[in-house]
Structure 1
Amino acid sequence: MYLRFPLACFGFSMTLLAIGGCSPDDEHQQASLEERSAAFEQSLDTIKDQQLKDAIADLGGSLLLLERARLKLQDKPVETEYGTDDLALLKHYPSSQALSDTYINGLFVLRKNTSSDYLTDLEPVFPFPLNSASEFPFPHALEWQSVTLSNKQVVPFAPEWSETDPGIQLSPSSANLSNPDDLTVTYPYIDGIEVENTQQPQPLILHGKVEVIAPGKVVNFNLDAKDMGKTRTDGTISVTLLALGQNYAEVDIVNSAPLAEQVRDTPLNPLIIQARDHSGQFLSRSGSINENPEQLAFYQQQLAEMLKQTAWSDAFEQQLDNEQKAFDQKHPHHYSKVYFNGTVKHVDINVLDFSTADLTRKSLDLPVLKLDKAVVGKDIQPLPISVVVYDDQAANYLKNATLDPEQLEKSVVISQSVDDASAATLEFSHPATFNDEMLGALPQRSDAPVTFFAEDEKGNRSEPLELPTEAFDVDPEAGVITYDLNLFPETPAYAVGSIPLFIADIDKQVLEVTHLPKGLELKGNTLIVDQKVFPAEAWRFYAKDGTGNYLKEVIAVRHSDEPDGPPAFDVHYFYGQPTQLESYARTALNPVEYGFEVKLDKAPQASMPQ
C-alpha cells in the first residue's frame, strides 16, 4: 500500500520540493549539471542487466534531481507569499487518534455526472484537502481494491486502463490530473451496438482499505535567530536550529526514544517545519532538502557500489538493505533545510513523536452517492456526515468583506507584455478577496480613458500621441489595455489614464438557527436557501457550530424546477451541525477610478514598428 507522508517528508510540491540532498562536493561543483546528467545517461546505456539499470537510474537520477532542486532553491528570489497553518487541523481535535478517525470516517464517494455512455467517473471526497498546503499531516495510505456494480458483478481495481481487456474496468481517471484518487468505470465499446449509460451496470459500492499512523504526541518548538546553534529539549526530543537564513531554516532533531514497534519498518519523517514573517503570518514553502552531508555521501557510496556490479542479485540487494539499516542505526538524526517564500522571522518546528503510535487499518465499503451540483426537481439528497471538520481559512478570507478604496488601490499590480508588437498589453490586477466574490455582474461598459505619450530627449513625457481609434482597445471589466505598436507614429513611452475598479458594500448579519428568516431552512447538516429571496449572486452564508469555528462546506447543490430553468433553491451541505449562520449581502456597488501613469516597456527590436 502506498504511503502518503506529511509535508516535511520527501516528495514534490506544486512549486518545487526535492526528495532530499545537500551541497555537492567540490568536484561536482566544477562540472556542470547538464554535463553530468548527460554522462550519467550514457553510462546507463552500457548496463545490460535491466534490474541493475533500473536501480542505478533511480538512485543516480535522484541525486542529480537533488542538486538541480538545490540550485533552483538557493537562487530563487525572495518574494512573500503566505500560506496556512499546517497543524491547524490538529488543534480542533482532542488527540492525534481523533484526527485520524475523522479522516477515515469522513471519506465518502460521489458519482460524477458524465456525458459519456461508456464512462462513469467516481470521486472520493476527503474531509481534509489533499492538494493544498494544509493536507492531512500524518502518514497515511489509501488503496482501492474493487467496485460492486448494480448487477452484483465485482470489478477489480487496475492501476491503468487496458485496451485489450474486453470487460468492464475500474482504473484511475485520466480526466482529472489534479485529484489522483478519482476513478473511472469504463464500459466496453461494441461497434454497431448503442448502449446508454443508464442501461449499463451502475457502480454501487467502492471497496478499498486505508491505513493511518497517528503519532503519540506532537511537540512544538518556536525558535528565532537568537536560538541558532542551540539545542532545545522537550522530553526525549532534542531540536537544534543549525542555520536561519533570510528565507530558509536548517534543522536537526533527535528522538532518544526508539520508534514504536508497529512502525519500525515504516519510513517516517517526523518534521513539519513552518515559518512566519514579521506580521506573524505563515509563509508558504518553496521547497525543502531533507538529507544532510553524511546521508548524501552514503547514497553516493551505494551508487558507486552499484556501478561496480555487472548484474543485480538478491545477495547484493540484501547487502544494500543491511548497509542502509546500519547507517540509520548509527545516524538517528532527522535533518531538513526548508525554503520559504518570504523573509523568515520565526520558525515553528513541529515534531511528530512516533515513539508511541496508533496504527489504524480499516476496510472501506463506501456507497456510491449521486449528488450532482445541478439538479432538476425538489427532492433533496441526504448526505449524512458523521464527522466535524472546520474551515480554518474562512475567518481570514471573510476579513476582506469590507474594503476601502485606498486598500484596493494599494493592492493593484500592473503587468506589461510587449512580446507581440501588434498586441502589447497593460494588465491591472489585484489579489482576489471575498469582496471581489460579492461584486456580481459589473456594468457592461465604463469610461476608461487612456492617453499615450512619447518621450523627449531627457526621457520625460512629451506631447500626447495622436492615434487612430483602432490603435488601442480598453477592456475595463478585464482590466486590460491592448495596443498595436504598428499603428503608432512613434514608440510610446508612457500611458496615462484611469481604469474603473469596484467595491461592494456588504451587510453582515448573525443569524441564530432557531430564528431563521423566511427563505432559509436548516435540516440537519443542510442549509436550504430560497433563490428568489436570497439569490446567490448577492448573498453568501457561512455556518458555525457551538465551538465558534466555521464549519467546512462539503458541497453546494443548485435545484431548478426545469432543465435550464432559473435556480429555485440551493442546498449547502456541511461537515457538522450548524448552530449559527452568518449572512453576507451585497447592498451596493461602488466604482473606484484607479488613476495611473505607467512607463512602458520597450518591445524587442525585431518586433518594433518600421
Structure 2
Amino acid sequence: MDVRLPLTTAGVCLALLLGGCSPGEEKKPTVSLETKTATFEHSLDAITDPKLKDAVTELGGSLLLLERAQHKLDSTPLKTVYGEDTLSVLKHYPSPQALVDTFINGLFVLHKDASSDYLTDLQPVFPFNLNIPGGFLFPHGVEWQSVTLSNKRVIAYQPEWSETDPGIQLSPSSSNVNNPDDLTVTYPFIEGLDVDKKTQPQPVSLQGKVEVITPRRLFSFNLSQKDVGQTRTDDNLSVTLLKLAKNYAEVEFSNNLPLAPEVEGAQLNPLIVQARDTTGQYLVRAGSINESPAQVSFYEKQLAHLQQQKTWSEALEKQLEDEQHAFEQQHPRRYNKVYFNGPVDTLEVSVLDFSSATVTRKALDLPVRTFSQHTTDKAIQPLDPAVVVYDDLAPNWLKGASLTEEELKAGIRIHQSVEEPSAARIEFSHRRTFNDELLGDDFSPGESPVTFFTEKRSGKLDEPIELPPEAYQVDPLQATITYDLNLFPETPAIAVGSMPLFLATVDKKTYDAKSLPKGLEIKNNTLVVDLKLFPANAWRFFVKDDSGNYLKQILSVSHDASADGPALFGVHYFYGRPTHVETYQRTDLNTVQYGFEVKLEKAQQPDTAP
C-alpha cells in the first residue's frame, strides 16, 4: 500500500529541482517551515509502531517538501528568460511515430576522457535536448545493461559503484549530475602499481534497451485572460483555466476516455503548458505544482488521522485506500499550477491523449565513438546517425549578428555586491548573444573612468571623493568595478563613469552547395572548413537543408598540425545533409562606452557592543 505515492513523487521531484514548497494560496506562512519541520520531526518520536511511523514520515515529509517548493516558487524574483517552443520539434516530422524513430535511431555514445587514470566516461548523446523542463516530448525510458570491452569481456551495469568490487565496473557517472544517462567504466586500483589507462581493455559498445510511449494524438488550446473560468473541449479532452496571474497559471484538465491498457501504471504527464509574453516569445518554465488545494487538504486530513493512531493495521490500510479511491472518483480532473520566468500574456495548453498509445521498444547495441575537440589525425572520422534533426533555436540566436549599439546598451543589467566591504563590486552584465560568440580576443577597451561621490540630502550628487589608486579597480574585460570601502575617507553614495562594452560588426553570406567558396566543402553530413582561410575566432557557420530549416550540429573537431597547432581544418557534423551554408565573419570590433550613474548599496555595519 502506498497512498502517498502521488504526493511523495511530486514533492520529492520539486524538492530536488527547487529546494523547496506551500499548499494553497500565496500567503506567508504564519509558522516558519523550520518550526513546522522541527515540530513534525519531534512528533515522530512518540510513534512506536514502525509501519505507522514510516507512513506518517513519508506523508508528512512530502507535505513539508510541497510547502517548501510552493514558497520557493512564490518568492523567486520575477526575471524574464526566453526559451524554445517545446512542440516545435513535432512540426518537422510527418507523424509522432516518425519523431520517436528519430529519437531512438539518432542515439549514439561518446567516449569521454576522465580526470583519473582509473576512470573512463561514456556519454549517450540524444538527438533532442533532454535537459529542458519535461525533457523529450513523449514518455520514455532508457535502461543500460552492459558494456562490451575490447577484450570481449561484458561488464554488467550496476546502479552504483561498489567499493568492495575488485573488478571492472559500469555504473552511473558521479561527475555530471545534469546528464543522468552518463556512465563511468571504473578500473580496479592497485596500491603501488601505476597502470596506463590505454593498456586497459577499452569500451567498444554499450548495450541497453529503450522504450517510448507515443500517444494517440496531441491537441492544443490557446488561452488568455478572457478564458479564465471557462472550459474548452475537443472530443474527449477538456481544459479549464482556473487562474492566470502575472507569472503563473492554474489549469485543470481531463480525458473522458480511460488510459490505454499499454500504459496503465506508467508515470505519465499528459499536460504541456507553455506561455508567451507580449513580445510573442516563449517563456522558460520556473517550476510547477501538481497538487490542487483540495488534494493537499485531503492529504493533510489523512496525516492528522494517522497521527491519532497508535498502531498500523490492515483495516487502517484499507480505510486509507478506500478514502483515496473515493477522493479520486470525486475529483477526476487533474491539476497543474505552472510558473514561468517572466510575465505571462497568453498560454498554449497541450494535452497528450493516451486513450490509445503505441509503445516502441528497441534493444540497443551502440558502438562507443571517440571524438576530441582537437586531433592531429589527417583522416575525417565518420559520424552519421542517418536522421534529420533541426535547430529551432538558431533563427532567434542568429539575430545577434545584427545587434546594434542601442540594443546592447538597453540589455545591460547592473548588479552590486557589498557583503565584503574590502571587495565591494559593481557588475555590468547582459544576456549572451551570438554577437558575443564572435568578439574574439583582441580587445582595446581604452579608458574606463569612474568617480565616487557623496550625496546631498536631496539624493543628488555632492562632492567627488579623493581616493588613492588602490581604493578601486576597473576590469573592463570582465565589466566589473571592485572597490575597498576601508580606503574611502567618506562613505560613497553614487558612482559615475563609463564602462566599455564590445560589439562585433558581422558580415553574413549565403551559399548553396554548388557555389561554395574555396575553403568550404560539404561531405555527406559534414561541413569541412579550411581554418587557414576561415580562422575559428572570426568565423561561424550554420547550414540548412532543402526544407529551409537549420540543421542541428552534433559536434565539431579541429584537425591540427601538431598538439601545439596550428589548426589546419575543422569538421562540423550535422543531423542531416546540408545543401546551403551561411557564413558569419567578424569584420570589425567596436568599443561602445556605456555611461552610468549608479546609486550604491550600503554595506552593513558590523555590530558594536553597547
Please confirm whether the aligned pair reaches a TM-score higher than 0.5, indicating the same fold: yes
Q: Given the superposition, is the C-alpha separation of residues 25 and 489 from structure 1 closer, same or farther in structure 2, using an over 3 Å criterion?
A: closer
Q: 2:84, 2:342 → 1: CA distance?
A: 14
Q: Given the superposition, is the C-alpha separation of residues 9 and 299 from structure 1 closer, same or farther in structure 2, using an over 3 Å criterion?
A: closer
* Aligned: 1:426 with 2:426: yes
- Residue in 1 aligned with 2:602? 602
Q: 1:25, 1:604 → 2: CA distance?
A: 31
Q: Please tell me the residue identity of whatever aligns with 1:183.
A: L
Q: 1:93, 1:311 → 2: CA distance?
A: 57
- Which of 15, 18, 42 is residue 16 of structure 1 equivalent to? 18
Report the alpha carbon displacement of residue 222 of structure 1 after superposing the two structures with TM.
Answer: 0.3
- Residue in 1 aligned with 2:358? 358
Report the alpha carbon displacement of residue 458 of structure 1 after superposing the two structures with TM.
Answer: 3.9
Q: 2:607, 2:368 → 1: CA distance?
A: 57
Report the alpha carbon displacement of residue 200 of structure 1 after superposing the two structures with TM.
Answer: 0.9
Report the alpha carbon displacement of residue 217 of structure 1 after superposing the two structures with TM.
Answer: 0.6
Report the alpha carbon displacement of residue 319 of structure 1 after superposing the two structures with TM.
Answer: 6.7
- Residue in 2 aligned with 1:204? 204
- Residue in 1 aligned with 2:494? 494
* Aligned: 1:508 with 2:508: yes
- Residue in 2 aligned with 1:462? 462
Report the alpha carbon displacement of residue 454 of structure 1 after superposing the two structures with TM.
Answer: 2.1
2:452–2:495 Cα contact (<8 Å) kept? yes
Q: Given the superposition, is the C-alpha separation of residues 454 and 281 from structure 1 closer, same or farther in structure 2, using an over 3 Å criterion?
A: same
2:421–2:486 Cα contact (<8 Å) kept? yes
Q: Please tell me the residue identity of whatever aligns with 2:73.
A: L
Q: Given the superposition, is the C-alpha separation of residues 297 and 421 from structure 1 closer, same or farther in structure 2, using an over 3 Å criterion?
A: closer
Report the alpha carbon displacement of residue 15 of structure 1 after superposing the two structures with TM.
Answer: 6.3
Q: Please tell me the residue identity of whatever aligns with 1:130.
A: L
Report the alpha carbon displacement of residue 55 of structure 1 after superposing the two structures with TM.
Answer: 4.2
Report the alpha carbon displacement of residue 112 of structure 1 after superposing the two structures with TM.
Answer: 0.4
Q: Given the superposition, is the C-alpha separation of residues 530 and 599 from structure 1 closer, same or farther in structure 2, using an over 3 Å criterion?
A: same
Q: Given the superposition, is the C-alpha separation of residues 372 and 600 from structure 1 closer, same or farther in structure 2, using an over 3 Å criterion?
A: same
Q: 2:571, 2:315 → 1: CA distance?
A: 62
Q: 2:92, 2:275 → 1: CA distance?
A: 21
- Residue in 1 aligned with 2:80? 80
* Aligned: 1:575 with 2:566: no
Q: 2:546, 2:469 → 1: CA distance?
A: 61
1:17–1:287 Cα contact (<8 Å) kept? no
- Residue in 1 aligned with 2:554? 554
Q: 1:491, 1:268 → 2: CA distance?
A: 58
Q: Given the superposition, is the C-alpha separation of residues 126 and 67 from structure 1 closer, same or farther in structure 2, using an over 3 Å criterion?
A: same
User: 1:426-468: per-residue Cα shift (whole Å, max 9, x none)?
Assistant: 2111111111111111325521112222224543322322222
Q: Given the superposition, is the C-alpha separation of residues 109 and 340 from structure 1 closer, same or farther in structure 2, using an over 3 Å criterion?
A: same
Q: 1:203, 1:246 → 2: CA distance?
A: 51
2:452–2:465 Cα contact (<8 Å) kept? yes
Between 1:420-429 and 1:30-39, the stretch displaced more is: 30-39
Q: 2:188, 2:326 → 1: CA distance?
A: 52
2:14–2:66 Cα contact (<8 Å) kept? no
Matches within 5 A, 1:59-74: 59-74=59-74
Q: Please tell me the residue identity of whatever aligns with 1:228.
A: V
| Residues matched between the structures, number | 600
SS of corresponding position for 1:605:
coil
SS of corresponding position for 1:440:
coil
1:86–1:133 Cα contact (<8 Å) kept? no
Q: Given the superposition, is the C-alpha separation of residues 194 and 32 from structure 1 closer, same or farther in structure 2, using an over 3 Å criterion?
A: closer
Report the alpha carbon displacement of residue 95 of structure 1 after superposing the two structures with TM.
Answer: 1.8
Q: Given the superposition, is the C-alpha separation of residues 395 and 221 from structure 1 closer, same or farther in structure 2, using an over 3 Å criterion?
A: same
Between 1:532-541 and 1:129-138, the stretch displaced more is: 129-138
- Residue in 2 aligned with 1:588? 588
User: 1:389-440: per-residue Cα shift (whole Å, max 9, x none)?
Assistant: 1111110010111122111111111222222222222211111111111111
1:394–1:550 Cα contact (<8 Å) kept? yes
User: 1:135-188: per-residue Cα shift (whole Å, max 9, x none)?
Assistant: 312111111111111112111111111111111111111111221111110011
Q: Given the superposition, is the C-alpha separation of residues 311 and 211 from structure 1 closer, same or farther in structure 2, using an over 3 Å criterion?
A: farther
1:390–1:550 Cα contact (<8 Å) kept? yes
Matches within 5 A, 1:469-548: 469-548=469-548
SS of corresponding position for 2:88:
coil
Report the alpha carbon displacement of residue 49 of structure 1 after superposing the two structures with TM.
Answer: 5.7
Q: Given the superposition, is the C-alpha separation of residues 47 and 101 from structure 1 closer, same or farther in structure 2, using an over 3 Å criterion?
A: farther
Between 1:111-120 and 1:546-555, the stretch displaced more is: 111-120
* Aligned: 1:189 with 2:189: yes
Q: 1:607, 1:531 → 2: CA distance?
A: 60
Q: Given the superposition, is the C-alpha separation of residues 352 and 410 from structure 1 closer, same or farther in structure 2, using an over 3 Å criterion?
A: same
Report the alpha carbon displacement of residue 215 of structure 1 after superposing the two structures with TM.
Answer: 0.9
Tell me how large the CA RMSD over aligned residues is: 2.7
TM-score, scaled relative to structure 1: 0.92
Q: Please tell me the residue identity of whatever aligns with 1:182.
A: D
1:17–1:288 Cα contact (<8 Å) kept? no
Report the alpha carbon displacement of residue 343 of structure 1 after superposing the two structures with TM.
Answer: 1.9
Report the alpha carbon displacement of residue 484 of structure 1 after superposing the two structures with TM.
Answer: 1.8
Q: 2:234, 2:240 → 1: CA distance?
A: 12
Matches within 5 A, 1:257-336: 257-304=257-304, 306-307=306-307, 324-325=324-325, 327-336=327-336
Matches within 5 A, 1:226-237: 226-237=226-237
Between 1:336-345 and 1:350-359, the stretch displaced more is: 336-345
- Residue in 1 aligned with 2:96? 96
Report the alpha carbon displacement of residue 76 of structure 1 after superposing the two structures with TM.
Answer: 3.5
Between 1:320-329 and 1:473-482, the stretch displaced more is: 320-329
Q: Given the superposition, is the C-alpha separation of residues 316 and 98 from structure 1 closer, same or farther in structure 2, using an over 3 Å criterion?
A: farther
User: 1:26-60: per-residue Cα shift (whole Å, max 9, x none)?
Assistant: 9x965443332112212334445656544433322
Q: 2:600, 2:543 → 1: CA distance?
A: 47
Q: Given the superposition, is the C-alpha separation of residues 230 and 367 from structure 1 closer, same or farther in structure 2, using an over 3 Å criterion?
A: same
1:24–1:67 Cα contact (<8 Å) kept? no
User: 1:228-260: per-residue Cα shift (whole Å, max 9, x none)?
Assistant: 111111111111111112222111112111111
Between 1:313-322 and 1:404-413, the stretch displaced more is: 313-322
SS of corresponding position for 2:170:
strand
1:454–1:493 Cα contact (<8 Å) kept? yes
Q: 2:505, 2:607 → 1: CA distance?
A: 45
- Residue in 2 aligned with 1:438? 438
Q: Please tell me the residue identity of whatever aligns with 1:67.
A: E
Matches within 5 A, 1:117-266: 117-133=117-133, 135-266=135-266
Between 1:52-61 and 1:556-565, the stretch displaced more is: 52-61
Q: Please tell me the residue identity of whatever aligns with 1:392.
A: D
Report the alpha carbon displacement of residue 327 of structure 1 after superposing the two structures with TM.
Answer: 4.3
> Share of identical aligned residues, percent?
58
Matches within 5 A, 1:40-51: 40-47=40-47
Q: Please tell me the residue identity of whatever aligns with 1:565.
A: G
1:15–1:286 Cα contact (<8 Å) kept? no
Q: Please tell me the residue identity of whatever aligns with 1:98.
A: A
User: 1:528-580: per-residue Cα shift (whole Å, max 9, x none)?
Assistant: 11110111100000111111111111111121121122221111111111111
- Residue in 2 aligned with 1:386? 386
Q: 2:14, 2:98 → 1: CA distance?
A: 28
Between 1:63-72 and 1:579-588, the stretch displaced more is: 63-72
Q: Please tell me the residue identity of whatever aligns with 2:200.
A: Q
Report the alpha carbon displacement of residue 297 of structure 1 after superposing the two structures with TM.
Answer: 3.5
